[in-house]
């Protein structure tokens, strides 16, 4: 692994830093109840990114993307994370768009891709169901062909940001008699369609990020099916040449530790930081820094593999597992450092250190080892594909 940029990579990194310095909007979040990434000046920020073709750096240029090789994507993501720049892509850029580009019709591309880039199309993912999470192929939502439409009935759960989404990409079973990985089709669903009900799920931190979504005889035009009928499972696995190092998460973990340490240093006589000066807690914070640095190295390993044309497999599972469990350890260390007052979860309470960010992260982090593939699933992948151990 070579940690040095090539001359071309160094020039691109300089370009990205200059762009951020000149265009990054003021940090002014909309609040705990708003959609993620809503900053003052976000529309102008997105416009600048669209002009640079940096909203979707991996998309082909003919669809408004940057057509970047993975190393340039990595540099862009790393520098954006270091600057704590607001993300404007979302699932539309990372999942819906690539699927439409690869498997969609020309009409689907013309309808959706420009709206994803402009921010008019805000997407959510309709995959998980109450009885189909890690075993997603067990999903039971049904889509029955009726003339020029499909009629969908069923339920999705843990649907992030469905309360804001105007479109959903979803999987539904179109052949109940086929083996479970077959007989599934992929649909683009307008969230304003009659028969769709979104019910909030509040997490331990009191945030409304997740939802249940119910489908009661929802009619979806057949032209909104992506790919062949009963081949949706394979359509759903579509990716472009995305950078998948998780560098943004690695950088974000270090930022969280920096914020905690700055607060402790700036409030030496504050009762909330008394425990933080205990040698055992200081050593624990140092351990978290070491682990964040290790996570960054794991990200470098993945991007190095991708740049060489290799496909990370168990390496990605290792990074996801380490990252999600580190998220919990960082939150736990923060709570220990701040003591009892750190448990105040209202950002409006003047006593709450760091506007209760540590407490909220601590509560929210419980879900991190579940979403995106549970820790158990990741360990199975590492054991079987990385260590060559037999299946249970």
Residues annotated catalytic, as ranges: 243
Q: What is the DSSP letter of 213?
A: E
- State the Cα–Cα distance between residues 145 and 136, nearest whole angstrom: 22
- Six-digit token string for 149: 């439409």
Closest CA to 340 of 353, 327, 324, 326: 353
Strand partners, 155: 214
Q: Tell me the angle at which helices 279-307 and 247-266 cross, rounded to the nearest 10 degrees.
A: 160
Residues ≥6 apart with Cβ < 8 Å to 295: 246, 249, 250, 253, 319, 322, 323, 326
- Beta strands at 167-173 and 123-126: parallel, antiparallel or unpaired: parallel
- Six-digit token string for 106: 């020309």
Task: Mark residue 197 as left, alpha or beta (left: phi above 0; alpha: psi -120 to 50; beta: remaining).
Answer: beta
- State the Cα–Cα distance between residues 109 and 333, nearest whole angstrom: 46
Distances (CA, A) of 163 to 35, 127, 207: 9, 16, 12
- State the Cα–Cα distance between residues 234 and 238, nearest whole angstrom: 7
Distances (CA, A) of 33 to 163, 164, 347: 11, 11, 12
In degrees and rounded to multiples of 5, residue 179 shows phi and psi of -55, 150
Strand partners, 172: 185
- 229, 174 in Cβ contact below 8 A? yes
- 200, 163 in Cβ contact below 8 A? yes
Closest CA to 170 of 214, 111, 110: 214
The dihedral built from the CA positions of residue 184, 188, 194 and 198, taken in this order, carries a sign that is positive
């Amino acid at each position: 692994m070579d940690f040095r940029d090539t001359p071309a990579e160094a020039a691109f990194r300089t370009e990205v830093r200059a762009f951020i310095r000149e265009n990054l909007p003021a940090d002014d979040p909309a609040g705990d109840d708003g959609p993620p990434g809503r900053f003052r000046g976000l529309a102008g920020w997105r416009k600048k990114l669209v002009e640079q073709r940096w909203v979707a750096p991996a998309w082909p240029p003919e669809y408004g993307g940057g057509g970047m090789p993975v190393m340039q994507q990595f540099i862009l993501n790393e520098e954006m994370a270091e600057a704590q720049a607001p993300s404007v892509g979302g699932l539309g850029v990372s999942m819906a768009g690539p699927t439409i580009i690869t498997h969609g019709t020309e009409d689907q591309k013309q309808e959706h891709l420009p709206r994803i880039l402009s921010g008019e199309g805000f997407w959510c993912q309709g995959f998980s169901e109450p009885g189909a999470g890690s075993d997603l192929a067990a999903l039971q939502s049904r889509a029955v062909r009726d003339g020029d439409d499909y009629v969908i009935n069923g339920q999705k759960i843990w649907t992030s940001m469905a309360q804001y989404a105007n479109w959903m990409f979803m999987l539904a079973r179109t052949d109940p008699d086929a083996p479970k990985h077959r007989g599934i089709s992929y649909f683009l669903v307008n969230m304003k369609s009659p028969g769709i009900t979104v019910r909030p799920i509040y997490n331990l931190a009191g945030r409304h990020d997740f939802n249940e979504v119910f489908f009661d005889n929802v009619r979806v035009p057949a032209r909104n099916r992506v790919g062949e009928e009963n081949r949706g499972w394979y359509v759903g696995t579509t990716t472009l040449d995305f950078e998948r190092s998780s560098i943004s998460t690695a950088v974000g973990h270090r930022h969280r530790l920096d914020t905690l340490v700055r607060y402790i240093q700036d409030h030496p006589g504050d009762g909330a930081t008394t425990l933080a000066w205990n040698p055992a807690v200081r050593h624990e914070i140092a351990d978290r820094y070491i682990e964040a640095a290790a996570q960054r190295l794991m990200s470098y390993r993945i991007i190095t593999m991708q740049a060489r044309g290799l496909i990370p497999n168990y390496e990605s599972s290792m990074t996801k597992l380490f990252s999600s469990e580190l998220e919990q350890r960082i939150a736990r260390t923060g709570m220990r450092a701040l003591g009892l007052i750190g448990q105040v979860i209202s950002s409006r309470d003047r006593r709450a250190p760091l506007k209760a960010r540590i407490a909220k992260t601590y509560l929210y982090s419980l879900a991190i080892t579940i979403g995106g593939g549970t820790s158990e699933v990741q360990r199975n992948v590492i054991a079987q594909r990385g260590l060559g151990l037999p299946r249970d």
